[in-house]
Amino acid sequence: MTDHSTSRPIRVLLVDDHALVRAAVRHAIVGPDLEVVAEAESAEEATALAMETRPDVLLLDITLPGMSGVELVRELAPRLPNTKIVMLTASSTDRDLVDAIRFGATGYLTKDMAPEELARAIRSAHAGDLAMSTRMAARVIRRLAEGSRHTVAPSTDEGLAELTPREREVLRLLADGLTDREIAEALTISVRTVETHVSSILRKLGVRNRAGAAGRYRGMA
């Protein structure tokens, strides 16, 4: 029988632009097996903290200053494969729900849930389960099924043609296996600028992560 008292707590990074919400969530998930290791109020701050702390669970609002939470999922999911990203938001629209899951979130929770339900959902996400209600899961499946019937993926040539010359350079280096910092040094630009280019490349190529972009590039080369 496992002794949970000596197990490492689940490390949570909390991202929300409202201090009162962060305080309420922090209070709701206090426990011997849960630990809020950092908090962020913007996507930029969240990116830096996520890469630094590499939390077990990233609890993320959708409405953030600058980059939205959904866009942040697309940025961070491929870079933090061992972190479970769970949306905690007031939005229950199909678009936000489906995009978040498509880009790599493993859960979608609404802020009207009870505190004890939130703690259980974080534990479930960390264990590898889908942290959302059965109703929301059904909506995701339905929308993804509809999209697979009606959406035609853009051709490889069209996706490549949309890239700017600088984005092509970034994609080439990305496909060679360079990190964002190495790409920044090679092109004499900031790491943040590289991250912006990578986000744009993923969107234009219609892929969800860096590996997918690299694969598309190699197929086009």
pTM across the whole model = 0.64
Cα dihedral 52, 58, 62, 68 in deg (nearest 10):
30
Q: Tokens 């899951």 identify what position?
A: 101
d(CA 125, CA 83): 10
Predicted confidence (pLDDT) at residue 50 exceeds the cutoff of 50: yes
- Residue ranges, CATH 1.10.10.10, the chain: 156-220
- Residue ranges, CATH 3.40.50.2300, the chain: 4-147
d(CA 89, CA 16): 9
Predicted confidence (pLDDT) at residue 150 exceeds the cutoff of 80: no
> What's the pLDDT band for 153 if we cut at 50, 70, 90?
very low
Predicted confidence (pLDDT) at residue 164 exceeds the cutoff of 70: yes
- Residue 53 CA, chain-centre distance (Å), reads 15
Residue 188 host element (H or E) = none
Report, in this order, helix, strand and coil percent for the chain, each rounded to 5. 55, 15, 30
- Express each pLDDT in 57-114 by its tens digit: 999 998 888 788 888 998 898 889 999 999 998 887 888 888 888 888 999 998 888 8
Residue type for 70, please? V
Cβ neighbourhood burial of 30 (10 Å; 0-12, 13-18, 19+): exposed
Q: Is the CATH number of domain 156-220 1.10.486.10? A: no
Asked if residues 167 and 195 have their Cβ atoms less than 8 Å apart, the reply is: no
Asked if residues 201 and 216 have their Cβ atoms less than 8 Å apart, the reply is: no
Average pLDDT value over all residues in the chain: 84
Q: Is the CATH number of domain 4-147 3.40.605.10? A: no
Residue type for 102, please? R
d(CA 42, CA 65): 6
Assign 67 to helix, strand or coil: coil
Assign 189 to helix, strand or coil: coil
Predicted confidence (pLDDT) at residue 152 exceeds the cutoff of 70: no
